[in-house]
Amino acid sequence: MTKTTLVVGLDGSETGARALAFAKEQARQIGDATIALIYVVEWSPFSFQTPEENAERHKRREEELKLAHERVLDPAVSAVKGEGFDVTGTVRHGDVAEILDEIAQKAAPSQIIIGRVGHRGLRERLFGSVGTHLVASASVPVTIVP
């Protein structure tokens, strides 16, 4: 039997914490499971800027990666490991739905677990949520936790 991987999207919100709690319960029930915690810094590769602006943008990107690790991912990984779970943690830049699905595909068989509402605000209301995009396009089952 293959070890099951549960991919959990974290964003530092309360609903992200509930998604993680749900994933831990699922992992307990499955028994032989890995929880893959993923924090995605929304980042578009498309920009029309000068070389100097792009260099500054790259610096900000590296700072955002560091902050995501320090404030959200590393504490979550430590806490979940402390509870006895097999856990990994990843921070990436890009489109949240695409990256969560990409990681889930590599970890098959797996499931993606996310919170229903995160730290997204107006952009999410205008262009649709990560959950909407995942449900429409993910290659593995998606669980959206309220």
Distance CA 142, CA 66 (A): 28
Q: How many beta carbons lie within 10 A of that of residue 80, not counting itself?
A: 21
Residues of the chain with pLDDT > 90, as a percent, come to 51
Are 89 and 73 in contact by the 8 Å Cβ rule? The answer is yes
Q: pLDDT tens across 59-97, in order? A: 888 888 999 999 999 999 999 999 999 999 999 988 889
Average the pLDDT over 103-121 and give the result. 78
* Domains of the chain by residue range: 4-145
Statement: 4-145 belongs to CATH 3.40.50.620: yes
pLDDT at 24 over 70: yes
Average the pLDDT over 19-47 and give the result. 89
pLDDT at 12 over 50: yes
Could you give the angle at which helices 14-30 and 74-82 cross, rounded to 10 degrees?
30
Residues of the chain with pLDDT > 70, as a percent, come to 85
How much is the pTM? Answer: 0.84
Using 50, 70 and 90 to split pLDDT, how confident is the model at 46? low
Q: HEC string of 3-34?
A: CEEEEEEECCCHHHHHHHHHHHHHHHHHCCEE
At 122, list the tokens: 């107006």
Average the pLDDT over 110-122 and give the result. 73
**Could you tell me which residues come within 8 angstroms of residue 113 by beta carbon, excluding any fewer than 6 positions away?**
6, 7, 8, 9, 19, 20, 22, 23, 26, 142, 143, 145
